[in-house]
Amino acid sequence: MKKVDFTKLTKENILSLQAYEAKEIPCRVKLDANESPYSPVADKNIPLKKKIFSILNRYPDPEARELKKVVAGYFKINPDNILFGNGSDELIYYLIVTFGGPVLYPIPTFSMYGIISSALGEMNIAVPLNESFDIDTGKMLAAVREYNPKLVFLSSPNNPTGNCFSYDGIIKIIEASNGIVVVDEAYLPFSKRKSFIPLLKDYKNLAILRTFSKIGLAALRAGFLIGDRDLIKEVNKVRLPYNLNALSQIIASDVLKDKRVIQSNIKSIVSERKKLFRELSNINGVKPYESEANFILFRVDNADIVFSKLLKLGVLVRNMNGVIKDALRVTIGTPEENNSFIKALQKAIRRHQ
Amino acid sequence: MKKVDFTKLTKENILSLQAYEAKEIPCRVKLDANESPYSPVADKNIPLKKKIFSILNRYPDPEARELKKVVAGYFKINPDNILFGNGSDELIYYLIVTFGGPVLYPIPTFSMYGIISSALGEMNIAVPLNESFDIDTGKMLAAVREYNPKLVFLSSPNNPTGNCFSYDGIIKIIEASNGIVVVDEAYLPFSKRKSFIPLLKDYKNLAILRTFSKIGLAALRAGFLIGDRDLIKEVNKVRLPYNLNALSQIIASDVLKDKRVIQSNIKSIVSERKKLFRELSNINGVKPYESEANFILFRVDNADIVFSKLLKLGVLVRNMNGVIKDALRVTIGTPEENNSFIKALQKAIRRHQ
């Protein structure tokens, strides 16, 4: 047997990494992953099913032209300003392969910015959010001056805190940066704030990330980058030609053609979020944070214990303790799921007290 | 408007790259992309369709456990020796991110080894095949000694030449290499040769690439790497957690559960390949090369002109002129498609002579 020492073969920045563990925990009510509780595709959509099964043996359109056209129409932008990824995760990968580091982001935020940057051997600069979970503009600007980051990632609304960052703060960071500032608008559909897309005409170093994952199509792995066509052109060079599978292209195109279903689902989720916030506020020992996303972050004494008790009652939320002390994050589900969650939480806290 | 010079922002190795252009050319008979002409999924498979549409709003299983189990059973290996990619392209990406370069491969071969390696800024070493399109073992071994490549890619059967490489030659390269030798068996289902999978127990630095793309599921983008569990563990660290979408996982699992459909489709393609080879041999001025894959490479005077004439007659093949002088590559289609191709080729050559 030929012996190989993989610790000597593997690149040093990889060796020290841990694989990202996305554990699947069985449960009755799944409110941990910021998925939509609703699918925007009608089960009776026979032509769509037929179309999907008729092209299984063919490679996908490498340029996803049909989907690009539909997305361009939806956002009233040019198709040349769009690049699709196998989830926005893949676009973060490509952005870092294209421009390199240092990579700057506030913390806590979406963990993939730092994970991918480390996998690619780039330097991470993480600047803590202030006490109200907003970006600390002064510290961010100081980091921009000191490290001259090639990429800045700003998730707004931010995951896991749920709030949008200061508009003026983001603008200042874009203006101060020589590198690319990526505003990740994964959760913007659930917020009343304006998109940064119209600002693309003012700032060539601005790029926007969007995803189909939160509006009911997480299974597809479809995200997209919107940016200057010169930026898209460079990032496109490191893209795998068939990175967006054919089924996802077809389903996503179909769903975007009728805005009403998506918009009505979003409306339900936002109205449930308001209800859930009130209910959480009314539970003794629970402190929810205002959210503009499809989840709510809340604090509770002994979060680890409450998390386990919720799970025993069949409700899975995300335990953020470790990232934010004694914090849990609950995804907005259907009215029934949210009721189950509230009842389980009341029990979990009563038992604990 | 904030001005940005992307030529200054982009990493140098990316700047000089060209984006991979996978052009879509409209045609009646599409024989350019080494796809299967058959889908292995029965159109009447209602439960499968139902299952797919019931999980659209949920993230895929990040570990693709069900599919891993099915693939492990199929190849009689351990699930820990398997890693899935969004096509084997993505696994090539991950292998190079994990181990770095230099990256060694023979030419002509599958173009993505070199393209991805360049995108990631690694050094490529390309060693020409010998006159019978086999690896030049002496030159390959000399390159292994001189450059000590971290990765060697050997596509066997090789694309676009269609032949398998010398078994002993591959073994010698594995034994001489300190790095990983990846045997890409994308086209092996169409060959009578043995897989290198049983040799994994003898060589820890051997890894095998496989794909669903050539057996009727190119739309899915599903490939997999088989290797030592320590190797899989390292590569898994740079994998995006949800890299294989849920629809592809479900469909691929379903298809592998019944080997008969795939095997009967492969049998048709192999028998059509033999027929097509004889017919090509009988056309004056056409020199086909023996193939163990789902395509045939053939030479013809003035390949560019013949390619265009075929296209005018509605038949799209791959023009390999430029890679191999005056060579075209035709994918094995259905009997009807192959007949259309042969008739069109006869016309195209007659007109030209």
| Reported ipTM | 0.94
Asked if B62's CB is within 8 angstroms of A22's CB, the reply is: yes
Contact list, B231 vs chain A (CB under 8 Å): 4, 6
Query: Which whole number is the average pLDDT over A338-349?
Result: 96
Q: Which of A210, A218, A172 is nearest to A191 (CA)?
A: A210
Closest residue to A14, CB basis, from B3, B119, B237: B237
Banded model confidence at residue B41, pLDDT cuts 50, 70, 90:
confident
Say if strands B327-331 and B318-319 run parallel, antiparallel, or are unpaired.
antiparallel
Asked if A9's CB is within 8 angstroms of B213's CB, the reply is: no
Q: Say what the pLDDT of residue B40 is.
A: 80
Contact list, B3 vs chain A (CB under 8 Å): 204
d(CA B121, CA B257): 40
Q: Count how many pairs of residues, chain A against chain B, have C-beta atoms within 8 Å.
A: 273
Nearest CA in chain A to B180: A9
d(CA A117, CA A101): 8
User: Tokens at residue A158, please?
Assistant: 């931010």
Banded model confidence at residue A13, pLDDT cuts 50, 70, 90:
confident
Q: Say what the pLDDT of residue B235 is.
A: 95
Asked if A35's CB is within 8 angstroms of B57's CB, the reply is: yes
Neighbours of A313 (CB within 10 A): 18
Q: Say what the pLDDT of residue B351 is.
A: 59
Q: Is B285 left (phi over 0), alpha (psi -120 to 50) or beta?
A: left
Q: Say what the pLDDT of residue A45 is.
A: 80
Banded model confidence at residue B352, pLDDT cuts 50, 70, 90:
low
Query: Which whole number is the average pLDDT over B216-225?
Result: 96
Write the DSSP string, B183-251.
Answer: EE-TTGGGSSSPPSGGGGGTBTTEEEEEESIIIIIGGG--EEEEE-HHHHHHHHTTS-TT-S-HHHHHH
Q: What percent of chain B has pLDDT over 70?
A: 98
Asked if B59's CB is within 8 angstroms of A33's CB, the reply is: yes
Asked if B89's CB is within 8 angstroms of A97's CB, the reply is: no
Query: Which whole number is the average pLDDT over B34-49?
Result: 81
Write the DSSP string, A309-352.
Answer: HHHHTTEE-EE-TTTSTTEEEEE---HHHHHHHHHHHHHHHHHH
Query: Which whole number is the average pLDDT over B239-250?
Result: 96
User: Tokens at residue B58, please?
Assistant: 């949920």
User: Tokens at residue A337, please?
Assistant: 């799921």
Q: Which of A336, A325, A350, A339 is nearest to A279 (CA)?
A: A339
pTM: 0.95
Query: Which whole number is the average pLDDT over A37-57?
Result: 83
What's the pLDDT tens digit per position in B282-335? 999 999 999 999 999 999 999 999 999 999 999 999 999 989 999 999 999 999
Q: Which of A123, A147, A95, A148 is nearest to B10 (CA)?
A: A95
User: Tokens at residue B143, please?
Assistant: 């390159």
pLDDT at A21 over 80: no
pLDDT at B353 over 60: no
Q: Say what the pLDDT of residue B43 is.
A: 67
My answer on whether omega of the bond before A241 falls inside 30° of 0, hence cis, is no
Taken in order A127, A130, A133, A137, the sign of the CA dihedral is negative
Query: Which whole number is the average pLDDT over A105-132?
Result: 97
What's the pLDDT tens digit per position in B141-162? 999 999 999 999 999 999 999 9
* Residue that wins the pLDDT comparison between A193 and B28: A193
Banded model confidence at residue A43, pLDDT cuts 50, 70, 90:
low
Q: What percent of chain B has pLDDT over 90?
A: 81
Q: Which of B305, B316, B296 is nearest to B351 (CA)?
A: B305
pLDDT at A180 over 80: yes
Q: Which of A21, A3, A124, A9 is nearest to B234 (CA)?
A: A9
Banded model confidence at residue A19, pLDDT cuts 50, 70, 90:
confident
User: Tokens at residue A3, please?
Assistant: 């012996």
Beta bridge partners of B114: none
Q: Give residue for tokens 């953020």.
A: A320
Under DSSP, the state recorded for A81 is G
Closest residue to A220, CB basis, from B1, B50, B245: B245
Mutate to test the interface with A, among B5, B51, B58, B90 (most CBs of A within 10 A): B58
What's the pLDDT tens digit per position in A161-177? 999 999 999 999 999 99
Torsion of CA B64, B70, B74, B80, to 10 degrees: 50
Q: Which of A91, A143, A155, A92 is nearest to A118 (CA)?
A: A92
Beta bridge partners of A84: A224
Q: Which of A37, A181, A184, A169 is nearest to A110 (CA)?
A: A184
Kindly give the interhelix angle for A246-256 and B246-256, rounded to the nearest 10 degrees: 130
Mean pLDDT of all residues in chain B? 94
Kindly give the interhelix angle for B65-75 and B246-256, rounded to the nearest 10 degrees: 30
Asked if A100's CB is within 8 angstroms of B11's CB, the reply is: yes
Asked if B62's CB is within 8 angstroms of A238's CB, the reply is: no
Q: Which residue type occupies A155? A: S
Asked if B57's CB is within 8 angstroms of A217's CB, the reply is: yes
The alpha carbon of residue B269 is apart from the nearest alpha carbon of chain A, in Å, by 14
Q: Identify whether the C-beta of residue A90 lies closer than 8 Å to the C-beta of residue A223.
A: yes
Q: Give backbone dihedrals phi and psi of B85, rounded to 5 degrees, phi first.
A: -130, 160
Banded model confidence at residue B84, pLDDT cuts 50, 70, 90:
very high
Torsion of CA B42, B43, B47, B50, to 10 degrees: 140
Q: Identify whether the C-beta of residue B13 lies closer than 8 Å to the C-beta of residue B121.
A: yes
Asked if A178's CB is within 8 angstroms of B9's CB, the reply is: yes
Mutate to test the interface with B, among A4, A27, A80, A116 (most CBs of B within 10 A): A4
3-state SS assignment for residue B225 = strand
Banded model confidence at residue A352, pLDDT cuts 50, 70, 90:
low
Lowest mean pLDDT among A28-42, A288-302, B284-298: A28-42
Lowest mean pLDDT among A113-117, B24-28, B85-89, B243-247: B24-28
The alpha carbon of residue B86 is apart from the nearest alpha carbon of chain A, in Å, by 7
- Chain length of chain B: 353
